[in-house]
Structure 1
Amino acid sequence: MSRPGLDTNPLELTPDWFNQLFEEIGIDAEVSGLTAKSIGTGQIGENVRFVFDYARKGDGAPATLVGKFPSDNEASLMTAKMLGHYEREVNFYRTFPKVAGRITPAALYTDYDAETNRFALIMEDMAPSEQGDQLAGCSVAEAERAMDAAAILHAAYWNDESLDTYPWLQGTSVAPPPAMSPEQVAMLWTGFKDRYDASLTPDVIEVGDAYADALPRMQQEPGDGPFALTHNDYRLDNMLFGKPGAPKPLAVVDWQTVGKGAPASDVAYFIGAGLTREDRPKHEQALLRYYHARLQDEGVTDYGFDALFDDYRYTCFYGMSVAFGAAMLVKQTERGDQMFLTMLRRHAAQARDNNALELLP
């Protein structure tokens, strides 16, 4: 087979390529024509929806599929290469079947070329599911769906030492050192403050300064809490919410940052950025208890709620580094600016409301 995204413009893929793919994976169909259209607003990768016309359509032949391919933006390409995003996402779908497919779109085809850093994913189309909106925030019911999926993700490899056998997985004992040191991440905060100075209030700057100052020491003092497979960009824009009765109530996408880490970090990141500044304090504790109960339903019985809450407070700063780091490393867009500033403000408020500054080393 030719390798879409590697040696072909994905918008120019032909019916023959998909016919060969369907034959290899056991789908009885003959594609006679297709249309390809870019979708979404991805800042690290580009997404394409393929709509098929069939000369023969057997059971299981999809009406549409979605492909994900490298970004067409040079800054995003360089960031993806430096941070290993494309290789990591492909390997996630290939390696973790207890998660991939259960809370994600099913992947029909994966490919990655280390020399060129080109990749491709061909996945089931989750339409008419609706993408979450980071700026608008979500309802409590939607947040509970996210907590359901988080519990499934984390429980699947809870304290599982096999995670340390994957050098491409962030945070494992065999992974190379992070591409950016804590000191370099802290410097991104300095650049972010300079760029967005007019949009930052003193209370947000105070939290950001304290966190950036503590980052090197936080790296030196890893916590002794549980570890699991973590998404590390667990937010609304990376979630597709199904309509009532859909086979998957929620599909989580964009696994470029998957790693071994503290499960509470995904939870703190989602709750802090996914709920509005007004809604989070009203529902924070209830959502944490909901997630804790779902973890227990999935078989995790050695993690008390008080320990979860302590870990939640300590890891709530992570969302700030994602916001200011991504803002400085990927292509700048108007919506991106709004999103990263909104996330940063919400996480700063989350840290202040939960007295998390007192936990910084």
Structure 2
Amino acid sequence: MSRPGLDTHPLELTPGWFNELFAEMGVDATVRSLTAKSIGTGQIGENVRFVFDYERAGAGAPETLVGKFPSASEASLTTAKLLGHYMREVFFYRTFPKVAGRITPDALYTDYDEATNRFALIMEDMAPAEQGDQLKGCGPEEAKVALSAAAVLHAAHWNDAALDSYDWLQGTAAAPPPALAPEMVAGLWGGFKERYAAHLTPDLIEVGDAYAASLPKWGAAYDGPFALTHNDFRLDNMLFAPPGAKKPVAIVDWQTPGKGAPANDVAYFIGAALTREERPKHEEALLRHYHGALAAEGITDYSFEDLRTHYRWFSFYGISVAFGAAMLVKQTERGDEMFLTMLRRHCAQVRDNDALELLAAL
């Protein structure tokens, strides 16, 4: 497929751009005009909904599409380039059909150029599905839907040695060392403490200090199963459909996929998605739901006891996402509130599961 030019802001893409794209895709349609509107509050990419008015619309011509493009923030652009976010998102959709499309929006067009960091992802519009709200949190039924999708993701490449052949996938044997080594991530905690000092209580600082000090050893100490993982599996990256929809939830923002621990996605999601008050009430039932969903996908050699142990271990992961992302992407009012909320919830998750004692053994 040829590559329509991307030398303008996504909100200024013309009918001609989509007519060229549709011609390449075999869509029988001619766009007369369109409207473009930014959606979401992405920290790394810009999301735009396109609504089309056609001169001619054959079968299959979409009424709307959603596009994802490079961020307008220089800080976020630099981060995306450094960490390979745009490349991974495109390669994920191109490489993993057992996952892409089943628990994600269908991708109609993908484009990435390493030299320029050019990036475009054109997807089906999941409306009227509604984006999850990280700040508000969700109830146990929505959480079960999300964890069922996690089971689909993880089971698709459970202990799959082929993952190690992808040098663009985080954590594989072929991948280069991460751009941010654990020691560098730990160093971001100091900057976070300084920036948000007025919002941090002693109990949060105690957990954060203990985790940051243990980070270089923490990741390497895991010896459980591995799978294809999302690594930012949280409510803001989920679109929940009305009852009866073909896809109950669509997972988006595949900029950080990797070969990793399935329990990492699970602990990160449960710890951040449920409020401090609600998580302890439903934690055990949600873990059992995920374990059952794995079994339904054919994974029967992973005991619930091992899942529970690994869940405790990875209750720390969301802490590093909270302070790491806060220091690497553009700072916004909602971003500040979200990262602080995540930090508080994950620190409570660590304490409720007596996970600090695990660090003492490192």
TM-score norm. by structure 1 comes to 0.97
Secondary structure in 2 matching 1:168: coil
Distance 2:151 2:214 in 1: 29
Tell me, in whole angstroms, the C-alpha distance in 2 between the residues paired with 1:136 and 1:281.
17
The aligned amino acid for 1:303 is: Y
Instruction: After TM superposition, give the deviation of residue 7 of structure 1 in Å.
Output: 2.7
Deviation at 1:19, TM superposition (A): 2.0
Other-structure match for 2:323: 324
Separation of aligned partners in 1, 2:25 and 2:246: 22
Q: Is the 8 A contact 2:143 2:270 kept in 1?
A: yes
Alignment partner, residue 78 of structure 2? 78
Which residue does 2:66 correspond to in 1? 66
Contact 1:234–1:269 (Cα < 8 Å) also in 2: yes
Question: Would you say how many aligned residue pairs link Structure 1 and Structure 2?
Answer: 359
Output the amino acid matched with 1:245: G
Query: 3-state DSSP class of the match of 2:105?
Result: coil
Are positions 1:266 and 2:243 aligned together? no
Is the Cα contact below 8 Å between 1:86 and 1:117 reproduced in 2? Answer: yes
The CA deviation string for residues 71-106 of structure 1, in whole angstroms up to 9 with x for no partner, is: 000111111111110001010000000001110010
Q: Which residue of 1 aligns with 2:159?
A: 159
Residue 221 of structure 2 aligns to a residue in which SS? coil
Identity in percent:
74
CA displacement at 1:247 relative to structure 2: 2.0
SS in structure 2 at match of 1:3 = coil
Where does residue 3 of structure 1 map in the other structure?
Answer: 4
Q: Is the 8 A contact 1:320 1:348 kept in 2?
A: yes
TM superposition outliers: structure 1 runs of 4+ over 3 Å = 1-4
> TM (normalized to structure 2)?
0.97
Tell me the C-alpha RMSD between the 2 structures: 1.0
Structure 1 distance, partners of 2:25, 2:120, is 16
- CA distance, structure 2, for counterparts of residue 215 and residue 77 of structure 1: 26
Return 5+ residue gaps in structure 2 as ranges: none
The letter of the residue matching 2:316 is F
1:121 aligns with 2:125: no
8 Å CA contact 1:104–1:252 kept in 2: the answer is yes
Instruction: For residue 3 of structure 1, report the CA deviation from its aligned partner.
Output: 3.4
- Structure 1 residue 233: deviation in Å? 0.3
1:149 and 2:174 equivalent?
no
Aligned to 1:315: 314
Per-residue CA deviation, residues 212-268 of structure 1 (Å, 9 max, x unaligned), is 01011124x332100000000000000000012222110000000011100000000
- Per-residue deviation at 1:20? 2.4
2:24 and 2:238 map into 1 onto residues whose CA distance is 29
Q: In structure 2, what is the equivalent of residue 200 of structure 1?
A: 200
Residue 316 of structure 1 aligns with an amino acid whose one-letter code is S
The residue identity in structure 2 corresponding to 1:208 is G
Query: Counterpart of 1:121 in structure 2: which amino acid?
Result: L
Q: Secondary structure at the match of 2:38?
A: strand
CA deviations on 1:22-76 (whole Å, 9 max, x unpaired) are 2222222221111111111101000111100111222211100000000000111
CA distance in 2, matches of 1:298, 1:58: 38
> Matched residues in 2 for 1:276 and 1:341: separation?
13
Any idea what the Cα deviations from partners look like across 1:240-299, whole Å, max 9, x if unmatched?
A: 000122221100000000111000000000000000000000000000000000000000
